[in-house]
Structure 1
Amino acid sequence: MITLTDAQIQAWLGMLLWPFFRILAIFAMDPFYSSRSIPVRVRVGLSMLLAILIAPSLPPMPAIEPVSALGILVIAQQLLIGLAIGFTMRLVFSSIEMAGHLAGLQMGLGFASFYDPQHGTNTVVVAQFASLLTILVFLAMNGHLLVIETIARSFVLLPISDQPMKLAGLKLLVDAGGQIFTLGLLLSLPVMAALLITNLSIGVMSRAAPQFNVFAVGFPLTLGIGVAALYFSLPQFPPHIHRLMEEATRLAYRLAKVFGGG
C-alpha cells in the first residue's frame, strides 16, 4: 500500500501550483493567448498542462506550504512576474495599434470606428487592420511557440523563491511601456509624412485660389493618398514586427534577471 505524507503532498502541490499561476498570468496578459476567442477554460487547461510538463525540469521549490500565508505571497509574486513578462509581448501589439490610430486620424478616418470583439471597445478601422496584420505575422513567425519558450526559460532565469523580487524590474517595465508612443510614431511616419505634404499642398492651393473648396477636395485627396501610402508601406511591416518581437523576448529575459537581482 502506498502511503503519502503531508510533506510530500505539500511539495507536489507547490511544484505545480506556483508555476501554474505564473503561466496563467502570462497567458492572461499575452495579446494572443488572452484573446476573447480563446475560452478561459482552455487557457486554464493549457496553463495546467504546461505546468505539469515543465515541473520535472524546474529548480528546487522553496520548502513552504502553498496554503500558508507565505505561500500565498509567493503566489502573488508569481502572478506579478507573469503579468510583467506577458506585458512585454503586448508592447509589440500596442505599438502597431498606436501606429494604426495615428495613421487613421491623419487620414480622416477617426470617425470610422466600430466595435472590436478582441478588445471589447470601439477601435479605428486602420488600427484594427494593423492589429490583425500583427497577429497574422505573429502566427507566421511561430510567435505562440516563442511565448511558450519564454515561459520555460523564465523559470531558469528567475526560479520560484520566497525571496522578494527586486523592484528595479518594475522601473524597467515602465520605461519599456513609454516606448509604445515612440514606436507607434515611427511606424506611422511614412503615412504621416505623405499626408503632411498633402495638407501643405492643399493649403498652398487654397491660398492661391480662395474659391477652391478645401472640404470637397481635401478629404478624398488625403484619404486616397493616405491609403496609397499605407499600401506601399505594408511590405515593411513584417520585418519591423519581427524585430520588435525579438526585442520583446530579450526584454522579457532581462526583466526576469532584474527581478531576480541579476
Structure 2
Amino acid sequence: MIDVTYAQLHAWLVAFLWPFVRLIGFFMAAPLLGHKSAPTRIKIGLAALITFAIAPGLPLLPSVPVWSWAGLGIIIEQTLIGAAIGLVLRVMFSVVQAAGDFIGLQMGLAFATFVTPDGVNTMVLSRFLHLVTMMVFLAVDGHLVVIDTLAGSFQTLPIGYSGLNPAGFEMLARFGGTIFSSGLLLALPMVAALLIVNLSLGILNRSAPQLTVFSIGFPVSLTFGLFLLTVLMTDLGRFLQLLFEQGLTTIVQLVAALNPP
C-alpha cells in the first residue's frame, strides 16, 4: 500500500498550481487564445499541458502554504506576470489593427464594419490585416517562441513572494505607445497618398462645380486605395518581421524588468 502524506500532496499541488496560474494569466491576455471565441476548456487544457511539461525543470519553489495570505499573494503575482506578457503580444497585434483603422478612414471604409464574436465593431480592413498578421505569426512559429520565452521566464523571474518591480509595469505602459507610432508608420504612405487624392478632388470640385465630388470621390478613393493596399502588402512581411522582433525582445526585457532588485 502506498501512503501519501499531506506534505507530499501539498508539494505536488504547489508545483502545479503556481506555474499554472502564470500560464492562465498569459492565455487570458494573449491575442491568440485570449479571444472570447476560444473555448475556455481549450485554454485550461493547454495551460495544464504546458505546466506538466515545464514543472520538473522549475527552480526551487518557496515552502508557502497555498491556503494562506502569502500563497494568495503568489497567485496574484503570477497572474500579473502572465497577463503582462500576454499584453505585450496584444499590443503587438494592435499595431496592424490601428494601421487598418487609419487606412480605412482615409479610404472611406469607416462604415464598413462588422461585429466580432466578442461584441466589438471592427473595420473590415483592420480585421483583414489582423488576420494576415496572425497567420504570419503562426507560420513563422512565433507562438512556439513565445511559449519557450514564457517557460524560460520561470528561470529569470522565479516563483516567490518577494514582489515585483514597478519599473516593469512602467515599461509595459510605455510599450503601449507602439500602437500609435508603429501603426501610423505602417499607414503613413497610404494616408499621405490618399490625402493627395482627396485634395486633388477638392480642387477639381472648385474648378468644375458641375462635377459632384461625392459621386466620383468615393469610387476614386476606394479604387486607388485598393491599388495602394496591394503595393503595401508586398512590403508587409518586412514590417511584420521587425514588429515581431520588437515584441519578442520586449517580452524578454519585461520579464527582466519585473525582477525585483
TM-score by length of 1: 0.96
Instruction: State the partner residue of 2:184.
Output: 185
Sequence identity percentage: 43
What are the ranges of 5 or more consecutive residues in structure 1 without an aligned counterpart? none
- SS of residue in 2 equivalent to 1:65: coil
Q: Distance in 2 between matches of 1:220 and 1:126?
A: 17
Task: Assess if the C-alpha contact under 8 Å between 1:66 and 1:72 holds in 2.
Answer: yes
Instruction: State the partner residue of 1:222.
Output: 221
Q: Distance in 1 between matches of 2:227 and 2:190?
A: 9
After TM superposition, the structure 1 stretch with the greater mean CA deviation from structure 2, 26-35 or 123-132, is 26-35
Q: Distance in 1 between matches of 2:193 and 2:27?
A: 39
Task: Assess if the C-alpha contact under 8 Å between 2:100 and 2:125 holds in 1.
Answer: yes
Q: Which amino acid aligns with 1:258?
A: A
Instruction: State the partner residue of 1:29.
Output: 29
Instruction: State the partner residue of 1:104.
Output: 104
Q: Which amino acid aligns with 2:176?
A: G
Alignment of 1:7-156 (within 5 A): 7-117=7-117, 119-156=118-155
What are the ranges of 5 or more consecutive residues in structure 2 without an aligned counterpart? none
* Per-residue deviation, residues 9-62 of structure 1 (Å, max 9, x unmatched): 222211110000001111111111223443110110110111111011111111
Task: Assess if the C-alpha contact under 8 Å between 1:194 and 1:225 holds in 2.
Answer: no
Instruction: State the partner residue of 1:247.
Output: 246
- SS of residue in 1 equivalent to 2:235: helix
Instruction: State the partner residue of 1:212.
Output: 211
* Per-residue deviation, residues 93-137 of structure 1 (Å, max 9, x unmatched): 1010010011111100101111122x4311111111111111111
- SS of residue in 2 equivalent to 1:170: helix
- SS of residue in 2 equivalent to 1:64: coil
* Per-residue deviation, residues 202-251 of structure 1 (Å, max 9, x unmatched): 12212222322111111111111111111110121122112211211111
Shift of 1:88: 0.7
- SS of residue in 2 equivalent to 1:188: helix
- SS of residue in 2 equivalent to 1:163: coil
* Cα root mean square deviation, aligned: 1.3
TM-score by length of 2: 0.96
Q: Distance in 1 between matches of 2:24 and 2:248?
A: 18
Task: Assess if the C-alpha contact under 8 Å between 1:157 and 1:253 holds in 2.
Answer: no
- SS of residue in 2 equivalent to 1:67: coil
- SS of residue in 1 equivalent to 2:170: helix
Q: Distance in 1 between matches of 2:3 and 2:165?
A: 40
